[in-house]
Amino acid sequence: MITLALSKGRIFEETLPLLRSAGIEVLEDPEKSRKLILATNQPDVRVLVVRATDVPTYVQYGGADMGITGKDTLLEHGSDGLYQPLDLQIARCRISVAVRADFDYASAVRQGSRLKVATKYVAIAREFFANKGVHVDLIKLYGSMELAPLVGLADAIVDLVSTGNTLKANHLVEVEHIMDISSRLVVNQAALKLKQAPIRRIIEAFAKAIDDCHSESMDCGSSPQ
């Protein structure tokens, strides 16, 4: 049995074509079903539906053999003991610093002001501002970071940006592009040894699907940048 951990939403949707290329069809829609273990058309492949930030943990401890998760999650929550054979180039976005349109970020940084930064990505934000030599007070949030500068909780946020529409709708502007983000395939190292043939077959099918997608300049389901 091969167990693949996925999170609902964008990663799940964008993984379906890759699974299809490996001959795997998921038999239920996690948005409609309350089941957490989904069967596939392959009796020896199943999908676990887990929270995005839990994917590395399930794979690291062998609750799943493989998983798909964003680079943001791997950087923030660690990737110890995980084999990362492929950048799947799905769920693409960037991690950026944004502020209210009326906040003079450049002057605040130049003057060495201490910035209040709200984010779910405390480790990524700490490293980014430390490298720039900017002093920050980090405020950990779990969602709707865009709200924090609007109510004076923070001067800036560090968050994922895809189209930029959410920032725009909340009168925020992007002032720093920290890094590009996409989703990675992660594999449990023991599973890779014990179940080498079926895992390699899936990795190779995914790699071929990504290559085909790029060589044909197809819209492969990734978001507009």
User: Nearer Cβ to ligand AMP, position 10 or 184?
Assistant: 10
**Shortest approach of ligand AMP to residue 131 CB, angstroms?**
23
**Shortest approach of ligand AMP to residue 177 CB, angstroms?**
13
User: Nearer Cβ to ligand AMP, position 95 or 191?
Assistant: 95
- Chain residues in the site for ligand AMP (CB under 6 A): 10, 70, 91, 93, 159-166
**Shortest approach of ligand AMP to residue 101 CB, angstroms?**
16
User: Nearer Cβ to ligand AMP, position 139 or 192?
Assistant: 139
In three-state form (DSSP H/G/I as H, E/B as E, the rest C), the secondary structure along the chain is: CEEEEECCCHHHHHHHHHHHHCCCCECCCCCCCCCCEEEECCCCEEEEECCHHHHHHHHHCCCCCEEEEEHHHHHHHCCCCEEEEEECCCCCEEEEEEEECCCCHHHHHHCCCCEEEEECCHHHHHHHHHHHCCCEEEEECCCCCCHHHHCCCCCEEEEEECCCHHHHHCCEEEEEEEEEECEEEEEEHHHHHHCHHHHHHHHHHHHHHHHHHHHCCCCCCCCCC
Distances (CA, A) of 196 to 22, 29, 123: 15, 28, 34
Q: What are phi and psi of 64, to 5 degrees?
A: -135, 150
**Shortest approach of ligand AMP to residue 118 CB, angstroms?**
12
User: Nearer Cβ to ligand AMP, position 68 or 191?
Assistant: 68
User: Nearer Cβ to ligand AMP, position 40 or 183?
Assistant: 183
**Shortest approach of ligand AMP to residue 18 CB, angstroms?**
16
User: Nearer Cβ to ligand AMP, position 163 or 189?
Assistant: 163
